[in-house]
Amino acid sequence: MAPAESGVSPRRNPSQLSWMNLSSNLILAYQSFGVVYGDLSTSPLYVFPSTFIGKLHKHHNEDAVFGAFSLIFWTLTLIPLLKYLLVLLSADDNGEGGTFALYSLLCRHAKLSLLPNQQAADEELSAYKFGPSTDTVTSSPFRTFLEKHKRLRTALLLVVLFGAAMVIGDGVLTPALSVLSSLSGLQATEKNVTDGELLVLACVILVGLFALQHCGTHRVAFMFAPIVIIWLISIFFIGLYNIIRWNPKIIHAVSPLYIIKFFRVTGQDGWISLGGVLLSVTGTEAMFANLGHFTSVSIRVAFAVVVYPCLVVQYMGQAAFLSKNLGSIPNSFYDSVPDPVFWPVFVIATLAAIVGSQAVITTTFSIIKQCHALGCFPRIKVVHTSKHIYGQIYIPEINWILMILTLAMAIGFRDTTLIGNAYGIACMVVMFITTFFMALVIVVVWQKSCFLAALFLGTLWIIEGVYLSAALMKVTEGGWVPFVLTFIFMIAMYVWHYGTRRKYSFDLHNKVSLKWLLGLGPSLGIVRIPGIGLVYSELATGVPAIFSHFVTNLPAFHKVVVFVCVKSVPVPHVSPEERFLIGRVCPKPYRMYRCIVRYGYKDIQREDGDFENQLVQSIAEFIQMEASDLQSSASESQSNDGRMAVLSSQKSLSNSILTVSEVEEIDYADPTIQSSKSMTLQSLRSVYEDEYPQGQVRRRHVRFQLTASSGGMGSSVREELMDLIRAKEAGVAYIMGHSYVKSRKSSSWLKKMAIDIGYSFLRKNCRGPAVALNIPHISLIEVGMIYYV
**Residue 16: pLDDT over 60:** no
| Ranges 207-221, 385-399, 772-786, most confident | 772-786
What does the pLDDT read at residue 33? 87
| Beta pairing, strands 527-536 & 383-384 | unpaired
Q: What are phi and psi of 563, to 5 degrees?
A: -90, 115
Q: Residue 715 has what pLDDT? A: 79
Give residue-wise pLDDT tens across range 18-34: 666 778 888 888 888 87
pLDDT given for residue 781 in this prediction: 87
Task: Report d(CA 786, CA 346) in Å as an integer.
Answer: 60
At 673, the pLDDT band (50, 70, 90 cuts) reads very low
Q: How many residues does the chain have?
A: 789
Question: Please, is 158 exposed, middle or buried when counting C-beta atoms within 10 Å of its C-beta (0-12, 13-18, 19+)?
Answer: middle
DSSP code per residue over 448-496: --HHHHHHHHHHHHHHHHHHHHHHHTTGGGTTHHHHHHHHHHHHHHHHH
Nearest in space to 702 (alpha carbons), one of 741, 665, 750, 649: 665
Q: What whole-number distance in Å separates Cα of residue 398 and Cα of residue 212?
A: 14
Q: Where is mean pLDDT largest: 157-166, 281-290, 507-516, 653-662?
A: 157-166
Identity (one letter) of the amino acid at 146? L
Measure the CA dihedral 436/441/446/452, to 10°. Answer: 20
**Which of 527, 528, 532 has the alpha carbon at shortest distance from 779?**
532
Q: What value does the mean pLDDT take over residues 365-383? A: 84
Is pLDDT above 90 for 675? Answer: no
Domain boundaries, the chain: 45-109+142-215+250-304+349-480, 511-629+644-649+714-788
| Spatial CA neighbour of 228 closest among 303, 291, 176 | 303
Q: Which of 579, 373, 455, 453 is nearest to 91 (CA)?
A: 453
With contact defined as beta carbons under 8 Å apart, do 503 and 787 qualify?
yes
Nearest-CA neighbor of 406 among 214, 227, 205, 224? 205
* Cα angle, residue 665 at apex, residues 661 and 668 outer, rounded to 5°: 145
Rounded CA separation 160/105 (Å): 13
Which pLDDT score, from 0 to 100, does residue 491 have? Answer: 92
pLDDT at 400 over 70: yes
Is the pLDDT score of 388 beyond 80? no
Q: Across residues 574-600, what is the average pLDDT? A: 87
The residues facing 568 across adjacent strands are: 599
* pLDDT tens for each residue of 309-327: 999 999 999 999 999 998 8
- Look at residue 13 and tell me whether its pLDDT is greater than 80: no
pLDDT of residue 682: 56
Burial bucket for residue 415 (CB in 10 Å: 0-12, 13-18, 19+): middle
What average pLDDT does this structure show over 682-696?
52
- Per-residue pLDDT at 616: 87
Q: Are 677 and 639 in contact (CB under 8 A)?
A: no
Instruction: Determine the 3-state secondary structure of 157 from DSSP.
Output: helix
**pLDDT per residue over 588-624, tens digit each?**
888 899 999 888 887 877 655 578 888 888 888 888 8
C-alpha torsion sign, points 391, 394, 397, 399: positive
* pLDDT confidence band for 695 (50 / 70 / 90): very low
Which strand (E) or helix (H) includes residue 59? none
pLDDT tier at 220, thresholds 50, 70, 90: low
Q: Mean pLDDT across the chain, nearest whole number?
A: 81
The pLDDT value recorded for residue 567 is 87
Neighbours of 58 (CB within 10 A): 10
> How big is the CA angle at 433 (ends 404 and 571), to the nearest 5 degrees?
85
Query: Is residue 1 very low, low, confident or very high in pLDDT (cuts 50, 70, 90)?
Result: very low
DSSP H or E segment with residue 431: helix 416-444
Query: To the nearest whole percent, how much of the chain has pLDDT over 70?
Result: 81
Residues 133-151: pLDDT tens digits? 544 445 677 777 777 777 8
- In the prediction, which pLDDT does 660 show? 59
C-beta of residue 261 within 8 angstroms of C-beta of residue 63: yes
pLDDT at 468: 92
681, pLDDT greater than 80? no
Three-state DSSP class for residue 703: strand
Distance CA 353, CA 575 (A): 36
* Residue 640: predicted pLDDT: 54
pLDDT at 100: 81
Model confidence at 252: pLDDT above 50: yes
